[in-house]
Amino acid sequence: MGKENLNFATMKIGPLFRAMFFPTLVGMLFTSLITVVDGIFVGRGVGANGIAAVNIVAPTFMVATGIGLMFGIGASVVASIRLASDNLKGARIVMTQGFVAACALALVMLIPMTAAPDGVLSLLGCSPELHANAVHYMLPLVPGIFFVMIQCIGMMLVRLDGSPRYAMWCQAVPAIVNIVLDYIMIFPMGMGVKGASVATSISCVLGGVMVLVYFLWFSNKLKFYRLSRSAKSIARMLRNIVYMVKIGLATFVTEVAMSVMMVTGNYMFMNRLGEQGVAAYSIACYLFPVVFSIANAVAQSAQPIISFNYGARKGRRVAAALKLALVTALACGVAVSAGLWAGAPWMVSMFLNPGQEAFDLAVKGLPIFATCSIFFAVNVTFIGYYQSIEHAATSITYTLLRGVVLMIPSFILMPDLLGNTGLWLAIPAAEALTTLIILFFFITGRNRPQIMKI
């Protein structure tokens, strides 16, 4: 089951990080393939309006992913510190509480999507022309959203349990299943966007079940723990949940910020370029999960190493892990940016046929958009670092800065200054400004914890 006996306290940082990073990267890339393949098959099987409709609904899925990752990060950080103190029971209790809280929030989120889909789509900026396809995509996605939360929280804890390769398979297997089902349901069965949604939902259920199977029967240390129902235990659980939310909130805000990016971009592109503009922007949104997955793989690989050694008060190991993570993030960001820049026409052709207005808009805009990759990778790594050392306020501040505070004004102001090019430059500008701010405060030592000064 991928038990690798990784020792976060004594193993050299370089080999330890590599043992975490490569399986995590592969798993994250497979997960991002779900979004990309959905876009390719919908674009080829339904057309530009199908892609635009899926992009309208996508923020709901990203919010669900954010909730799962929020509790995954929060539970993993707290459990890491308790494991560093040899408190195995405490780590198991925290893990179980994280799963319970995420599942409860999932149910709350799914009620309006099921009961009032038209209202939800209206809030997401859906136009009448896209409404039918958007409804067909959203409703079958509901069961998948519940299980994707389980999958997301489980990934972080499976890695903490010392099984990054199993975590990789929990992402790779559902992705492969999704690709196969996508093709069957969209083309031979002719189900259109509904088929893409059903395929995604089935793959998410599979990923969630694989996580549950691991913790029920195959885990090393972390297992589900029977929670007490006494008033004292419930009060303690609520405190733990609040603290997990505090630690992991930046990750949730990152996912919400991606949703804000999509919704704000949809509005701005629709306003200036119509449905074809939204379809072109959708190509960037389909490819952005690849950018996110690579950057997030760096942050998630470093997180248990940093959290454990932070809990053990080993400042030099924390500093070494951060340095290696930043170098890796920078290299990955440059590689991704260059790849998107050079391969823009080929990548867009996977989604749309040449000759369409949306195709031409995307080919021109994607290389500009691609410049965000370098800054995004560095920002996510720093945010993950501050989460790992329990500096929740700092991580949330930087996440809001890059995802809301700077991004929304960029989308509003830059098109007026630079025309349609400004639409594509809005996100890179927000990420670059955030990187400069983070580096200023880190280099001057204002956000550096005492343990890093040892």
In a domain, 6, yes or no: no
Only one residue has tokens 């349609």, namely 420
Are residues 175 and 30 in contact, defined by beta-carbon separation less than 8 angstroms? yes
In a domain, 2, yes or no: no
Q: Which domain holds residue 360?
A: 13-453
In a domain, 1, yes or no: no
Q: Angle CA(114)–CA(117)–CA(122) in degrees, nearest 5?
A: 155
d(CA 248, CA 285): 24
Domain count for the chain, please give it. 1
In a domain, 8, yes or no: no
Identify the pLDDT of residue 454: 40
User: Nearest Cα to 77, choosing from 95, 65, 97?
Assistant: 95
- A 10 A CB-CB count for 387 gives 29
**First-to-final CA distance of the chain:** 38
Are residues 138 and 119 in contact, defined by beta-carbon separation less than 8 angstroms? no
In a domain, 229, yes or no: yes
User: Nearest Cα to 72, choosing from 141, 151, 3?
Assistant: 151
Identify the pLDDT of residue 446: 63
Residues contacting residue 92 through CB under 8 Å, at least 6 positions apart: 221, 222, 223, 224, 225
| Chain-centroid distance, C-alpha 31 | 10
In a domain, 5, yes or no: no
- Tokens representing 39 are 């876009």
In a domain, 7, yes or no: no
pLDDT tens digits for 64-112?
888 888 888 888 888 888 888 888 888 899 889 989 888 888 888 888 8
Residues of the chain with pLDDT under 50: 1-2, 453-454
Identify the pLDDT of residue 2: 47
Q: What is the pTM of this model?
A: 0.73
User: Nearest Cα to 415, choosing from 365, 371, 377?
Assistant: 365
Q: What is the DSSP string of 136-155?
A: HHHGGGHHHHHHHHHHHHHH
In a domain, 4, yes or no: no
Identify the pLDDT of residue 205: 93
